[in-house]
Amino acid sequence: MGWHRELLIGFDLETTGTDPATARIVTAAVVEVKKGEPVGRREWLADPGVPIPADAVAVHGISDERASTLGRPAREVADEVADTLAGYWRAGTPVVAYNAAFDLSLLAAELNRYGLRPLSERLGGAETGPVVDPLTIDRAVDRYRRGKRTLEAVCEVYGVVLTGAHEAGADALAAARLACAVAETHERVARLSPWELHREQIAWYAQWAADFQSWLRGKGDPGAVVDGSWPLRDTETVAGHR
């Protein structure tokens, strides 16, 4: 049947910023999706413990007042989100996140910030995954397509309806549906097992990062560095690209 027709876990974070090393979780969502339809959902609202910048509020609509009044402590939210994802991974279920290196790296940074167990420890030392990142896959299988690669733009390319963009639950569901649509469109992606696809994405992301770094340097930024690590980046030294 293919991995895309089995259970998938859509995952998304809305945050205070675009650098996973410093940004904080504001909302999180995990959506269980089977054959493109949601069959379960869990969502969190966190008090990030820092002011939410106006440009971030403009994206996801969560104000300081709402987060501090209705949100739970960020430490608890990060811990629960990590436990939830680890549970799916231990069962062998793929987690789908659009631009996974951002969301998972930010989650890892939050765990470190609060002295919580890292993802690897929750997985008994095993590798984090399998992860499915429609952005990384789409860049590889349709490399020369012109236009933006935002979630909204790529959903439009594959005919996936995204209602309520930048709401964590909506984006998580759209990411899972997009993963299905990409697999239906590109048979070679559908034929891979989740872990085979995970390995391919490691290589695809590294190649994209190298090409992007070269392009930036060619445009006059000789010191540009683009981390090619996927699905987790070193949040101690590298700023993220959302």
Provide the edge-to-edge strand list for the sheet that holds 72-73.
72-73, 37-47, 25-34, 7-15, 95-96, 131-132
pLDDT in the model for residue 114: 97
Q: How far apart are CA 12 and CA 31, in angstroms?
A: 9
| Torsion-angle region of 164 (φ positive above 0: left; ψ -120 to 50: alpha; else: beta) | left
pLDDT in the model for residue 164: 86
Q: How confident is the model over 68-93, as pLDDT tens digits?
A: 999 999 999 999 999 999 999 999 99
Considering the chain, what percentage of its residues have pLDDT values greater than 90? 94
- Cα–Cα separations (whole angstroms), residue 205 to 4, 19, 201, 222: 20, 18, 6, 21
Mean pLDDT value across residues 221-239: 81
Q: Quick one: tokens of 169?
A: 């639950």
Mean pLDDT value across residues 32-44: 96
CATH class of 3-216: alpha beta
Q: Is the pLDDT of residue 193 over 80?
A: yes
DSSP designation for 3: G
pLDDT in the model for residue 190: 97
166 and 179 Cβ atoms separated by less than 8 Å: no
Reported confidence tier of residue 234, pLDDT bands at 50, 70, 90: confident
Q: How far apart are CA 127 and CA 145, in angstroms?
A: 32
Reported confidence tier of residue 235, pLDDT bands at 50, 70, 90: low
Q: Is the pLDDT of residue 240 over 50?
A: no
Q: Is the pLDDT of residue 241 over 60?
A: no
Q: Which helix (H) or strand (E) holds 72?
A: strand 72-73
Q: How confident is the model over 41-69, as pLDDT tens digits?
A: 999 999 999 999 999 999 999 999 999 99
Cis before 222? omega within 30: no
Q: Is the pLDDT of residue 179 over 50?
A: yes
| Torsion-angle region of 99 (φ positive above 0: left; ψ -120 to 50: alpha; else: beta) | left
* pTM tops 0.75: yes
Those residues with Cβ within 8 angstroms of residue 20's Cβ, 6 or more apart along the chain or in another chain:
101, 102, 103, 105, 106, 108, 109, 233, 235, 239, 240
Q: Where are the domains of the chain?
A: 3-216
Average pLDDT value for the chain: 95
Q: Is the pLDDT of residue 133 over 60?
A: yes
Q: How far apart are CA 48 and CA 232, in angstroms?
A: 21
